[in-house]
Amino acid sequence: MAGKVAGASAPAPGLAAPRQRAAAWSPAKGGLLLLALPLAMLALFFLLPLLVVLGQSFTAPAGPFDSYVRLAGDSALRNALTYTFQTAAIVTLAALVLSYPVAFLISRAQGRWLVIGMVFVLVPFWTSAVIRSYAWLVLLQRRGVLNEMMLALGLIDRPLRLTNTDIGTHVAMVQIMLPFMILPLLSAMRGIDASVLRAAAILGANPWRQFLHVYLPLSMPGVGAGCVLVFISTLGFYITPALLGGSSQMIAVAIEQQVSRLLDWPLASALATLLLVLTCLLFMLYERLNRRLAGAGEAR
């Protein structure tokens, strides 16, 4: 059992009954004492700044709710909001469709293929988003790799405009988000017992029905967790849209511009408050899904 120490997110073995856990390591008092410092840090450098954002959003010179009124009236900012949600939905859906088969194959791979698969997923995961956005710029720009290749192959006779377009930005964002979808899918899929599929086959289900009625429902917690994770991260996406651009602005880019170019802190804070509330709601959803996933794991 000791060998499991490094195994990430392995569910607690049956030994860890709640009654024993309460008695072990620290008396209840010690637990609170331990929590004091991390909580103080979070209160000071996380919760307090969020309150500052909220407070700032009501400090517009023309009245406390002025920035929200302007937010509702400004069509460019309203556009940014809908565009951000649209982008988040597109990126999430595309990432799910691309990730599912990959996660499925990696979850069944063993030995060398498993290592190769994980390297392909983890190297981009740990490559800086600045660097990957830059790489996409190199790939997509007017005299970039993609255009030069298509010109050489005779597929096009004039370079296509790929940067500053929605399609280029989305292609880059999906690539950056893929690992956030593949990893939760993988952890759910690795927990699926292969004998369940065999049982379905013995009972006469063809592979399609095995997938639809057995495998897909069992992988749903991973699908849910991955989708919420990618959706939330895309809502706050700054680097790639700021560099590659698109037809409209993402919220995070709009906030940064309000602050550093227009110096409109109240309006930026109102936008940020909106983003904060939406992210919080989605995070709560994610927590609930996670809990259900953990519950399913313990039941097994």
Partner 1 sequence: MSRVASTPLWRILSAGIVAFAVLVLIYLVLPTLVIVPLSFSSDTFLRFPPSGFSLRWYESFADSTDYQLAILNSLKIGVPAALLATVLGVMAALAVVRGSMPFRRTLAALMIAPLVLPQIVLAIGLFPLLAKVGLVGSYPGIVAAHAVVTIPLVFITVSAALRSYAPTFELAAMTLGANPWRTFRHVTLPMIRPGVIVGFIFALTFSFDELILAMFLTSPTTRTVPRLLWEQLNFQMTPIIAAATVVILTVTIGLLCLAVLAGASARRRMAGTARE
Residues between 25 and 44 that touch partner 1 (CB under 8 A): 25-26, 28, 30-32, 34-35, 37-39, 41-42, 44
Site for partner 1 contains 196 (CB under 8 A): no
Find the binder of partner 1 among 151, 160, 276, 285 (CB under 8 A): 276
Find the binder of partner 1 among 74, 132, 264, 285 (CB under 8 A): 132
Site for partner 1 contains 142 (CB under 8 A): no
- Degrees (nearest 5) of the Cα angle 289, 290, 294? 120
To the nearest whole angstrom, how small is the minimum distance from the Cβ of residue 8 to partner 1? 5
To the nearest whole angstrom, how small is the minimum distance from the Cβ of residue 62 to partner 1? 20
To the nearest whole angstrom, how small is the minimum distance from the Cβ of residue 198 to partner 1? 7
Find the binder of partner 1 among 74, 79, 134, 191 (CB under 8 A): 134
* Residue spans of beta strands (DSSP E) within the chain: none
Site for partner 1 contains 223 (CB under 8 A): no
* Contacting range for partner 1; rule: CB under 8 A; set: 62-70, 75-83, 217-225, 263-271: 263-271
CA 212 to chain centre: 25
In the numeric block, which tokens belong to residue 41?
A: 């840090």
Site for partner 1 contains 128 (CB under 8 A): yes
Handedness of CA 126, 190, 7, 30 (dihedral sign): positive
Q: How far is CA 4 from CA 10, 94, 100, 294, in A?
A: 8, 35, 27, 18
Handedness of CA 245, 247, 252, 256 (dihedral sign): positive
Helix (H) / strand (E) containing 73: helix 66-73
Site for partner 1 contains 91 (CB under 8 A): no
To the nearest whole angstrom, how small is the minimum distance from the Cβ of residue 89 to partner 1? 17
In the numeric block, which tokens belong to residue 8?
A: 């990430």
Site for partner 1 contains 98 (CB under 8 A): yes
d(CA 233, CA 88): 8
d(CA 171, CA 169): 6
Of 91 and 235, which CB lies nearer to partner 1 in the complex structure? 235
Find the binder of partner 1 among 78, 142, 190, 198 (CB under 8 A): 198
